[in-house]
Structure 1
Amino acid sequence: MAIQSRSLVHVFRATIALLVSLVLLVQPAMAQSILRDAETEAVLDEMSAPLIKAAGLDPRNVKVVLIGDPSINAFVAGGQIVYMNSGTIMQADNANEVQGVIAHELGHIVGGHIIRSSEGMKTATGITILSLLAGIAAVAVGAGEAGMGIMAAGQQAALGKYLAFSRTQESSADAAGVDYLEKAGISGKGSLAFFKRIQNLEYRLAIPQDDSYGRTHPLSGERLAVLEHQYKSSPNWDKPTDPGLEERFERIKAKLKGFASDPKDTLRDYPERDKTEPARYARAYAWHKSAYPDKALEEVNALLAAHPHDPYYLELKGQILLESGKPNEALPALREAVDRTRAQPLISALFGHALIATEDPKNFEEARTVLRAAVTRDNDNPFAWYQLGVVYEREGDLPRAQLATAERYNLEGRSQLALANARQAMQGIKEGTPDWLRAQDIAMVSEAAVHEERRKR
């Protein structure tokens, strides 16, 4: 009986592990950081806007958020946000391939698949719990082996049920993606090419291609067979991508590689004999990362010679100068970049940082104005809030410096620090004012989060 009890505990633990795994399956974790870049976000917005409209959604409410991860992946995790790994862009051959990925993920959003995943998990969990109870009952009357067999079979049935549910959702998103590309007048060639790339990756990883039963997604071969017929029958099949969009995509792809890759790899992929714009862009980031500011500026200046007022090249020049300890020299380029992007918040935050870095009190008022405008238009930028806190502190406005710091920590999920700073801000700001009320909101939210964190310990 002791042996049966230990076996029962083992099976019970395995059953609990299965329930946890089902939860993880429907809540993809963002282990890597979110990457923010004004130019990249503008291009992704441009690429996705016709697809979002075709899906019946409002482009103002849907975001494509970039995750700093070199692997190929994209997913939704609730709301109207498509999360895309940076590796998806870096390994795509063209903009059309990324549009195919976005179309598929929009299918998940419109289909409410994250919400409906709870239905699949509920069914699977029900099977598991019933089999667990039946198994315990069998063990209780002395049928130990039969009881454990019932529980093991229940685990397998539950997992199979959930995986089948997940595969159905993926097939539904595939079909929706075809529809959105068709309505947007965009070719499915890129989507098909991207699925083939995934299939080739599966071959290299020796992932079995003969049985989809144990998978969350249909086999790539099965998907390709269905999609190829649908895409090739579309009048958009041979429709080329807008050359301007393709050019902008190649720029952000090179930019991402330069920013995210090892400089040696970037310089190998974009050797100095390559004088194209994407190559120079990538090398500028590689040289800057390698602490060769003169070589980085040489590349940027060559880009600006061809496009003197390009705001993103100006932004990079200002960034290189600022981070090389020359904030005063960075100001003209960054000020023009802000003007030409109509005060794009991310670029404005960098400009505000440069103004503060000059350590000239005459620049603090402008920095405060620029940063306040930046967080008003985009309050999800911890860096901008940090800089705003710095300028308030330099001006001697400690309560608002504490409020800005509370905003920053709140965005970063550091509830204890957000709570402390919000409470301190409330003590120095006049009660009932908008800033005091905002500090109160952060304090209440953070206090609840702190209590929840303590409860889970």
Structure 2
Amino acid sequence: MAVGVVGVVLAADLSAPVPTDGIGSGAPSALNLPQMGEPADATMSPAQEAAIGTSVMAELYQYEYVLEDPEITEYLSNMGWRLVAAAQQKPPALDVFMVADPRINAFALPGGHIGFNAGLLIASQTESELAGVMGHELTHVTQRHIARSQDDAGGIGTIATWAAVLAAIIAGSGDPNVIIAALGVGQGVMYQKQVNFTRANELEADRIGIQVMADAGYDPEGMAGFFQRLEQQSRLYGTGVPEILRTHPVNTTRIAEARSRAAAIEKGKLRNVPDSLDYGLMKARTRVLVSSRPGEAVEAFSAELKNGRDTAPTRYGLALALSKAGDNARAAAVLKPAFDANRNAPAIALLMAQLKLGAGQSADAMALFEKIYQSYPTYAPAILRYAQALIETGKPDVARQVLLASQQIFGTRLETYRLLAQAARDAGNNGEASYEMANYLYYRGDYGGALAQLDAGLRSDSLSSSQRARLAARRAEVREALPRNYNPYAREPRQR
């Protein structure tokens, strides 16, 4: 898999023989990890990587490219941290997110950001296939392949240029016209060369990624199996090469090597590892959220149910699609058998609570929301959905208490700040609303928008002296993150 970004073509000879080095033994030496204080620091420091990653994420938010869904984000994040726990080298930070793109692809960015296209989750057939892709991309992060690749590329250029080219490649899927438009003729080609990765990086990511996913309890065959199936389908059915095979080139030699490495792993002899219920639920959820229209998803899941595929994920997907189509009462009836059979599945319970609320059963809905929140106090979707429901039912102050009591979601679930802003606004506290909305925009990388919110808050006539001091202090922090010559009117909104 090519590391870095969607649309980056691997410029390496994948047909060359692969050295065998005892992979699968589980010994640290077999993984050939780089030493700490490696030469990568000389070309791109961890601080520079973090700055580039933050800038790229800001661009992706402006493209409205990130699918900001609490349940899907939580599922992917949990898988990522499960793999991290099994890895012998941990990233300084990890941010796994879903991209609202039906194409099949995944990518790693500097600073620990890993993106998964919606199409990849939908196309996977087992949870181990998904874990295989994530294990590979996680290895690119832990081994700092982006920084290491710059040693021969002559440095990183400017952080702003890197951020622009990476975001352009992701949004344009490698379309040279998109890159040239973003950077100017000639310059885009130079920077795209700098984000290509060596064959050694790719083989290291395969090697370590397979071992890590096996140690985490997934089937190590998942990675090779997924790519082989995609490659065969593209040849047999003539549907065109999936995006992930364009940007992550594979051939029979590389697939065979991956299978050999998986077979060499003796620990636990993991094969045919059963999928979690959450995998099926989030796959169904993704299908609905990226459908061009709710009716299309209703038809698809209805057909599956009619054809005998009466599973919890099928009912979950149909219920969510019906809700998107505005039929909450029917959706609740469809979901009820799955809800009754899976009382310990918070994602199903949350959907049922939302359906009840949408159907006008506020008392039952809020009782269920509170029960889920009490049962799963660290489950971010339960916190966020409960807070949103409290706001919708006229209890913004209670919603604020729920959010402020859940410290683990601050800085990791940006929806927290938006809900805090909404709760403050509904409670009539405009200064606090501006402060929290500024935080929401700041953590999305929109420093200019954050500054505008703080300025609006400071113009409020009802501020206490402590509120004014708090807003002014935050304004100084945000202004420090902006260029000294920042002009709020110079930047037009970016269009997807």
TM-score range with shorter-chain normalisation?
0.7 to 0.9
Q: Give the number of equivalent residue pairs.
A: 397
Q: Equivalents in 2 of 1:223, 1:73: separation in Å?
A: 18
The answer for the alignment partner of 1:297 in structure 2 is 332
CA RMSD of aligned residues (A): 4.0
The answer for the alignment partner of 2:176 in structure 1 is none
The answer for the alignment partner of 1:62 in structure 2 is 94
* Higher helix proportion: 1
Does the C-alpha gap of structure 1 residues 310 and 235 become closer, same or farther in structure 2, counting only changes over 3 Å? closer
Q: 1:376-404 CA deviation, whole Å, 9 max, x = no partner?
A: 63335454333322322333322111112
Query: Which among 314, 319, 323 is matched to residue 288 of structure 1?
Result: 323
Q: Equivalents in 2 of 1:309, 1:159: separation in Å?
A: 49
Segment drifting more, 46-55 vs 171-180: 46-55
Q: Equivalents in 2 of 1:160, 1:377: separation in Å?
A: 35
The answer for the alignment partner of 2:148 in structure 1 is 116
Counterpart secondary structure, 1:187: coil
The answer for the alignment partner of 2:380 in structure 1 is 345
Query: Which among 296, 314, 317 is matched to residue 279 of structure 1?
Result: 314
Query: Which among 253, 263, 275 is matched to residue 232 of structure 1?
Result: 263
The answer for the alignment partner of 1:78 in structure 2 is 110
Q: 1:155-179 CA deviation, whole Å, 9 max, x = no partner?
A: 9x98998698544422332222233
- % identical equivalent positions: 23
Say yes or no: does 1:100 pair with 2:106. Answer: no
The answer for the alignment partner of 1:454 in structure 2 is 490
Q: Equivalents in 2 of 1:181, 1:71: separation in Å?
A: 24
Is the CA contact (8 Å cut-off) linking 2:319 and 2:331 kept in structure 1? yes
Alpha-carbon shift at residue 96 of structure 1 (Å): 1.0
What TM-score, normalized by structure 1, do the two folds share?
Answer: 0.73
Query: Which among 284, 306, 313 is matched to residue 254 of structure 1?
Result: 284
Q: Equivalents in 2 of 1:227, 1:47: separation in Å?
A: 21
Q: 1:356-380 CA deviation, whole Å, 9 max, x = no partner?
A: 2223xxx332122113335763335
AA aligned to 2:254 is: R
Alpha-carbon shift at residue 320 of structure 1 (Å): 2.3
Is the CA contact (8 Å cut-off) linking 2:431 and 2:457 kept in structure 1? yes
Q: Equivalents in 2 of 1:89, 1:70: separation in Å?
A: 9
What TM-score, normalized by structure 2, do the two folds share?
Answer: 0.68
| Bigger Cα Rg | 1
Q: Equivalents in 1 of 2:195, 2:435: separation in Å?
A: 46
Alpha-carbon shift at residue 109 of structure 1 (Å): 1.2
- Structure having greater relative contact order (Cα 8 Å, sep ≥ 6): 2
Does the C-alpha gap of structure 1 residues 448 and 195 become closer, same or farther in structure 2, counting only changes over 3 Å? farther
Segment drifting more, 59-68 vs 79-88: 59-68
Alpha-carbon shift at residue 78 of structure 1 (Å): 0.9
Q: 1:39-89 CA deviation, whole Å, 9 max, x = no partner?
A: 444443454445323432448943432222222211111122321112212
Alpha-carbon shift at residue 107 of structure 1 (Å): 2.0
Gaps (5+ residues) in structure 2? 1-6, 12-51, 158-185
Within a 5 Å distance, the mapping from 1:173-184 to structure 2 comes to 173-184=205-216
AA aligned to 1:222 is: T
Gaps (5+ residues) in structure 1? 1-20, 126-153, 208-214
Does the C-alpha gap of structure 1 residues 202 and 237 become closer, same or farther in structure 2, counting only changes over 3 Å? farther
The answer for the alignment partner of 1:4 in structure 2 is none
Is the CA contact (8 Å cut-off) linking 1:334 and 1:351 kept in structure 2? yes
AA aligned to 2:122 is: M
Say yes or no: does 1:191 pair with 2:227. Answer: no
